[in-house]
A and B are shown apart, each in its own frame.
Chain A
Amino acid sequence: MNQENITELKIEEAETVIPVKRQSLLKQIMGANEFGVAIGLIFLIVFFSLTAKYFLSWSNMINVARQVSMIAIMAFGMTLVVVSGGIDLSVGSIMGFAGVVTAALMINFNLPIWVSVSGGILSAGLMGLFNGAAITLFKIPSFIATLAMLSIARGITYLYTDARPIYGLSESFNFIGTGYLGPVPIPVIFMVVIFVMFSLLMRYTKIGRYAYSIGGNAEVARLSGINIKKYMRIFYLISGLMAGIAGVLLTARMGSGEPNAGIGYELDVIAAVVLGGTSLSGGTGTMLGTFGGALVMGVLDNGLAMLNVPPFVQMICSGFVILIAVGVSMRKSTIIVK
C-alpha cells in the first residue's frame, strides 16, 4: 500500500470522537464465547471430583482425554465447516470408511503401515472433497449432500467388508491407538497437536479468515473477490481428513478394521462444536470452545459411568446437558448484545 496516497487523502479531524472505554477483564471473560462451556466444564469437574472417588486421579484424567480425542479431532474439522455456514453429517461414516481402508491396505494388500495410514486418511479426504464438490458444483445444501455421503461411505464400507471386521493388524500399528509417549497416550498427542494447528489456522491463515467471512455473509465474501467455492471445497476436504485421522486412531485402538466404527459419532461431534459456543448459522466460533465442548461430553460420560449410572440414563443426562449448556450460552449472548 502506498503510504503517500493515504496521507494525501487526509481530511481534517472531526470534532466528535467516540469515547473509548476499555471493557473490564471480568466483562471480557464473561463476554467470550467460551465462557459458557468453561463454566460447564468446571462445574462438572468439581461435581464429579466430590462424588466419584477416583475421578480426579491422573489415570482417569488421561482416560478421559483418550476417550474424547477422536471426537475432538473430528470436531476441530467440523468447527471449520460450521463456522463457514455449513455442516458435515458424514464424518462418522467417513471415519469408519477410513479405518477399513487402512486395515484393508495392510491386511489385504500387504502394504507398509505408513502407506496404509496415508491411504486411509487421503481416501477420507477424497470423500470430504466429494462433499465439497457436490455442495459447490451442484448447489446442494450441505445438510443434504453430507447426509447422502453418510449413507454412501457407510454403504461402500459394508460392501467391501461384507460387514465383517478386518482382523490381524500388527502390534506396531495398534501402538498408534494404544501406545504412550511418556505418560501421554498417542491419540491425546494427536488431539493436542491438531488443536494447536487448527487454532493457528483459524486466526492466522486465509483459510480461517475466509471461513469466518463466508459464514458471516457469503455474498459479501464473493463480492470481495474471494473464490468461495474453492474455499468451501477446502473446508470439507479438511473435515474429511480429520475424520480419516480419527478413523485410523480408532482402528488402531480397537485392533481391527470395524465396518461399524463411527456410527452416530457425527452427532457427538456436532454437539461438541455447539457446546463450544459455535453458532450453527455460521460466522462465529473458536477451536478452544470446541475443545471445551468435547471435554464436557467426555467428562460427563466418564463421571456418570464412575457413579455407576446406567448407560441409558447417561444418554438422557447428556441430552439435558446439551440443552442446558446451549440455553445458558444463548441467554448470555442476548444479554451481552443488549
Chain B
Amino acid sequence: MAIPILKLENINKSYPGTKALSDVSFEAYPGQVNSLVGANGAGKSTLIKIVSGAIKKDSGSMFLNGEKVEIAGPSHAQELGISVIYQDFSLLSNLSIAENIFLGREFQSRLFINNKQQRQQALEMLKIVGMDSYDPDTLVSNLSNPEKQMVEIAKALSIHAKVILMDEPSAVLTEAELGYLYHQLELLKKQNIAIVFVSHRMGEVLRVSDSITVLKDGKNADFMNREEANHERVVMAMVGHDVGRESLLATISRSDEPILEVDNIHMGRIVNGVSFSVYGGEIVGLAGLVGSGRTETAHCIFGAKPYEKGTVKVKGKAVRFKYPGNAVDQDVALVPEDRKGQGILAGLSVCNNISLASLELFSRYGVINSRKQNDNAESFVASMNIQTPSIKQTVGNLSGGNQQKVVLSKWLTRESDVLILDEPTQGIDVGARDEIYHILRRLAEQGKAILFISSDLEEVMRMCDRILIMYKGTIVNELKNHEATQGKLLLYSTGGGK
C-alpha cells in the first residue's frame, strides 16, 4: 500500500475536566476516502481541529508526507496543504464566489485587487468541480447548500490542498442532494487528494469509505478496510453495544379527533396551500427537500412567521399565533432545525436552558423558585440520560447530542400536546439518535401529536406512522408507513411520480 500522506501518532489532548483524546492514531492515504466516525464527544472534532491547526495537541506526533510537522495555526496548516470544509461553511455570504475562493489571497496589482484575473482563476477552479456554468461574481448567499459545498471544494483546490477534511458534509444536504457529494468525492479521489470524511450517517459512510477509523471516548476503538466494514461492526465499535434498527411504530390506536389541523396555509411563494392533520398518539413524518417549505410550514404553525392565508386548529379550536409565546401557551412546541442558532443558549447553564420556555411554572410574581427549577432539570438530566457534569454546566460545553436532549427537555417540561420537531437528530450519533427515537415514541404513546420533519429517509421510515411529502410548498403525497420505500419518498420529494 502507498505511504500515508497524513499520519497521526499517539495524539493526546485534555480539556479542563475531560480527556478529549488519548493516544489516538490515524492515517490518511491519497486518493482515498478515510472516514473518521464516533459518537458525539468521541473526539472527532478535536482531532480535526488539531490537524487543521485550530487547537494544539498536548503530545504526540504528526507526519505529513513522512516528515514530522508541528502546526502553528490555521494558516500554517493551509500552507502545508491541509484544508477543512466545515458543515456550516466558512464562506462569507455577502461576497461573490470568486471573492470567497481567494479570500486572504487576493490577486493584487499595486493598490487594487485585480478582479479580472481573480475571476478567471475562479472560473478555472469552478470548472474542476463541475460548476462551469456559474458566474464567479454570483453572491454566495444565492447558492444552495450543495453549491456552497462545491465552492468550498473549489477553494480547497485553489490552495493546492493535499488533504481535505470534511466535517459532516452531508448534514446540510438532503438525500437527493447527496448525489452531488458522492460525485465530488470521486472527483477529489481522481485528483489524488486524501479525504478525511466525518459523518453520522452510517449508510453513506459505508458507501464512500475506503477505510474507517472508529473513535470512542477519545481512543481508537476500531479500524476497518472497505471490505471488512459493515453497519453492525461500525455501530458496535462506536457505542459499545448494538443499536436496534427495528421499526418503532405506534402500538396504540390514534385519537378519534385530530389534535393539530392545518388547512390551506399560504406564506409568500414558499408555502402554497399546505393542509394536513396530526392525531394524538401518532408520529407523522414530513419529508421533502431542504427548501420545499417544511421548516417554513412549521414556523407558520408556531407563530414564528406570519402567514397570509389558512387556518390552524389545535384540539379543535381555531388559533392564529402572533408570536411563538402564544403557541407555547396553547401547548404547541417546536424543536427548531438550527440547534445553535435557534435551539440552545450556549452561554447559559443546562438548568437555565431547560426551564427557559416554562419559567412561569417555576416562578411567582416573576421571582424564580430555584429549587423547583433545579429539581425539574435534574429529573430530565436523569431521564433523558444527558451527559453533563452538573446542571450548572454551560450548554455550549456539551456535545451535539446532549445539547439536542437539552432542547427536547426544554419542551418536554411544558408537556405540550403538539410537538413539532425539525431535524431533531441532525449531527447526532447513532446511540443518541436511538434514545431520542424511543423518547418520541413514548411521548406519542402518551397521546401527544408529533410532527417529525426530517431529511433522513431511513429514520422517517423507521419512526413515522404516516409520511407527508412536500415539494415546492405543497404536500404532494401521503404514504402510510407500510407503503413507503426510499425510492418512492425520493421520487415524490423531487416532484416525480405524478
Contact = CB atoms under 8 A, between A and B. Distances in A.
Interface of A: 1-3, 5-11, 13-21, 23, 27, 204-207, 209-210, 212-213, 216-217, 219-227, 283-284, 338
Nearest to B329: A225
A338 B438 CA distance: 36
B346 interface: yes
Interface string B320-341: 0001110111000010100001
Contacts of A207: 366
Nearest to B336: A223
B406 to A, nearest CB: 12
B380 A6 contact: yes
24 contacts: A1-B376, A1-B415, A11-B438, A18-B388, A20-B389, A20-B390, A21-B16, A21-B389, A23-B17, A27-B16, A204-B367, A205-B368, A206-B360, A206-B363, A206-B368, A209-B352, A216-B347, A217-B341, A219-B341, A220-B341, A222-B324, A224-B356, A225-B327, A225-B357
Interface of B: 16-19, 39, 41, 55, 216-217, 240, 302, 304, 323-325, 327-329, 334, 336, 341-348, 352, 356-357, 359-361, 363, 366-368, 370, 376, 379-380, 382-385, 387-390, 410, 413, 415, 431, 435, 438-439, 442-443, 446
Given A206-B359, A225-B329, 14 more contacts: A1-B379, A3-B379, A6-B382, A9-B442, A10-B383, A11-B384, A11-B435, A14-B385, A16-B217, A19-B18, A212-B345, A213-B345, A220-B342, A221-B356
Contacts of B415: 1-2, 5
A227 B19 CA distance: 41
Contacts of A209: 352, 356, 359, 368
A7 B325 contact: no
Contacts of B41: 16, 18
Given A11-B385, A14-B385, A20-B390, A216 B19 contact: no
A15 B238 CA distance: 12
Contacts of B384: 9, 11
Considering residues A2, A18, A206, A207, which has the most beta carbons from chain B within 10 angstroms of its beta carbon?
A18
A28 to B, nearest CB: 11
A220 B346 CA distance: 10
Nearest to B384: A9
Contacts of B18: 18-19, 21
A225 B327 CA distance: 7
A11 B41 CA distance: 19
A216 B329 contact: no
B325 A216 contact: no
Contacts of B325: 225-227
Going nearest first, the 4 A-B pairs with the smallest beta carbon separation are A225-B328, A216-B345, A21-B17, A225-B325
B356 A6 contact: no
A15 B241 CA distance: 10
A226 B327 CA distance: 11
Contact of B361 (A1, A6, A10, A13): A1
Contact of B367 (A3, A205, A212): A205
Contacts of A219: 341-342
Contacts of B352: 209, 212-213
Considering residues B342, B380, B410, B438, which has the most beta carbons from chain A within 10 angstroms of its beta carbon?
B342
Given A207-B366, A224-B324, A226-B325, A13 B385 contact: yes
A229 to B, nearest CB: 8
A223 B334 contact: yes
Nearest to B432: A14
Contacts of A1: 361, 376, 379, 413, 415
Considering residues B240, B304, B345, which has the most beta carbons from chain A within 10 angstroms of its beta carbon?
B345
Nearest to B359: A206
Given A18-B18, A225-B325, A9 B366 contact: no
A20 B381 CA distance: 15
Contacts of A20: 17, 389-390
Contact of A223 (B240, B342, B347, B383): B342
Contact of B345 (A8, A21, A217, A338): A217
A82 to B, nearest CB: 14
A207 B359 CA distance: 11
A233 to B, nearest CB: 14
A215 B325 CA distance: 18
A284 B347 contact: yes
Considering residues A1, A11, A225, which has the most beta carbons from chain B within 10 angstroms of its beta carbon?
A225
Contacts of B442: 8-9
Given A16-B217, A209-B368, A225-B327, A7 B383 contact: yes
A204 B342 contact: no
A154 B357 CA distance: 40
Contacts of A5: 415, 446
